[in-house]
Amino acid sequence: MSPETSQGDRGPKILHVFGASGEGPMGAFFERLATGLAARGMDQRAVIRKDTARARVLAAAGLGVVEAPFSRQGDQATRRVLRREIRSTPPRFLVAWLARAVHAVPADGRIRLGVPGRDGAPDHFTDCAHLLFYDDASAAAFQAAGFEPRRLHRLLPIVDGRPAGPIARWEQRTPDNAWLIVTTSRLTQDSGLHLALEALDRLPENFHLWIVGEGPERAALESEARARALDNRVRFVGWRRDVPRFLAAADVYVSPSAKRRLGSGIIEAWAQARPVIAISAGRSAELIDHGRTGVLVPPEGSAELAQAIAAVVENRPTALQIALAGRQAFEAGYAPAAVLEAHAQLVERLAADADTPLGSSR
């Protein structure tokens, strides 16, 4: 693939539309893809929901960035911004990330690629020529809803594979001599975090837990932690841009959800050479080679989860073996360069099939 400059016409001119706020897996995937494609010389612009940190990351990579409200479905201010962007410099390739972005694109923009995310409903994405998924279950749901298989594309998520320096434990009021469990997740009812708290309650007091993520279940989880008298051993960190630093600080990474679809947290923990323990269901069971790249425990088994955590952290040779095997699995199948190449090839192939630049006849 030959690189292009922002002044050239050899490659697809891409317009990203990202309407979500805050952090989270999809925001991270978007930033990594956009910055990765920029490093390859692809000409890109982005219209994003107002987010100073995200705008700074994208601009530093060379993207032109415009911020818009994305306040609600039918938001006319955002549509005016998008209409102006599409008409002033017609892109060859428009990517709409999540449903809010799809609804914001005006009628004179054709969405070449939509990214529904985990919870995207098929009826919100009927105007997208093609769709990109990071998990098999979502792709299968769209196919069951009548979308042609040729329109559906499944790729691995782009994760940050660079070794990170661990965040200092004192920043989260955690003793340096504690055994530290870290988990990353959106805080929802199916996140398995209630199971993680129950398992922590079974472990000695020198075991601590950092929960990196945000979501609607946070208040209920904080309440449960207090009820179990765990509030001094649990830290609700919220969403963070420096997730690898939290993983690097861990003695063990735990993925407690039986309904995990992406498994990006497991892959990120492998990238930081952390031993992984997960529920033997869903994407976790597909990723992990039990006993080699991680340890699998039964769903709803808080006693088994607690036993596995204690066994791994207290047997350092075993923990190191599992951590190194996980890192090898990451390098063999999930290295960012190879995953980015797959994304670039998809974008170039779909852009080559496009009829005319978006907005050129409007």
Question: What pLDDT band is residue 263 in, cutting at 50, 70 and 90?
Answer: confident
- Residue 282 or 308, more confident: 308
Helix 264-271 crosses helix 316-333 at what angle (to 10 degrees)?
Answer: 110
Instruction: For residue 276, give the H/E element and its range.
Output: strand 276-279
Contact assessment for residue 268 and residue 244, using Cβ atoms and an 8 Å cutoff: yes
Contacts for 182 with CB less than 8 Å, ≥ 6 apart: 209, 210, 212, 246, 247, 249, 250, 252, 253, 254, 269, 274
pLDDT of 355 higher than 60: no
Q: What pLDDT score does 75 carry? A: 80
The more confident residue out of 311 and 74 is: 311
Answer whether residue 280 shows pLDDT above 80: yes
Average pLDDT over residues 332-347: 94
Q: pLDDT at position 120, please?
A: 83
pLDDT number for residue 109: 64
Beta strand 64-68 with 44-49 is: parallel
Q: What is the mean pLDDT of residues 349-353?
A: 87
- What φ, ψ does residue 17 adopt, rounded to 5°? -120, 115
Question: What is the structure's pLDDT at 261?
Answer: 76
Better-predicted residue by pLDDT, 255 or 73? 255
241 contact partners, CB below 8 Å, separation of at least 6: 23, 53
Per-residue model confidence as pLDDT tens digits over 2-12 = 333 333 444 56
Give residue-wise pLDDT tens across range 185-228.
Answer: 999 999 999 999 999 999 999 999 999 999 999 999 999 999 99
Q: What gap in Å lies between CA 221 and CA 218, rounded to an integer?
A: 5
* Residue 179 CB coordination number (10 Å): 19
Mean local confidence (pLDDT), 330-340: 94
C-beta separation of 305 from 276 below 8 A: no
Looking at residue 112, its amino acid is R
Give the rounded percent of residues in the chain with a pLDDT score beyond 70.
92
309 neighbors 251 (Cβ within 8 angstroms): no
Q: Residue 24 has what pLDDT?
A: 78
Q: Please state at what angle helix 302-314 crosses helix 316-333, rounded to 10 degrees.
A: 100
Sheet holding 179-184, edge to edge: 234-238, 207-212, 179-184, 252-255, 276-279, 295-297
Distance of alpha carbon 339 from alpha carbon 225, whole angstroms: 38
- Rounded CA-CA distance 310/63 in Å is 46
Is the pLDDT reported for residue 106 higher than 50? yes
Q: Average pLDDT, whole number, for the chain? A: 90
What CA–CA distance (Å, rounded) separates 323 from 183?
A: 15
What was the pLDDT predicted at 74? Answer: 66
Supply 172's token pair. Answer: 């989260």
Give Cβ neighbours of residue 121 (< 8 Å, ≥ 6 apart). 99
Whether 358 shows a pLDDT value over 70: the answer reads no
The model's pLDDT over 217-246, given as tens digits with 9 standing for 90+, comes to: 999 999 999 999 999 999 999 999 899 999
For residue 245, what pLDDT is reported? 97
Q: Which of 252, 253, 259 is CA-nearest to residue 299?
A: 259
* CB distance 283 to 305 below 8 Å: no
**DSSP for 116-144, written as a single string:** --TT--GGG-TTEEEEEESSHHHHHHHHH
Sketch out the chain's domains with CATH numbers.
14-158+336-353 (3.40.50.2000), 169-333 (3.40.50.2000)
pLDDT at position 185 is 92
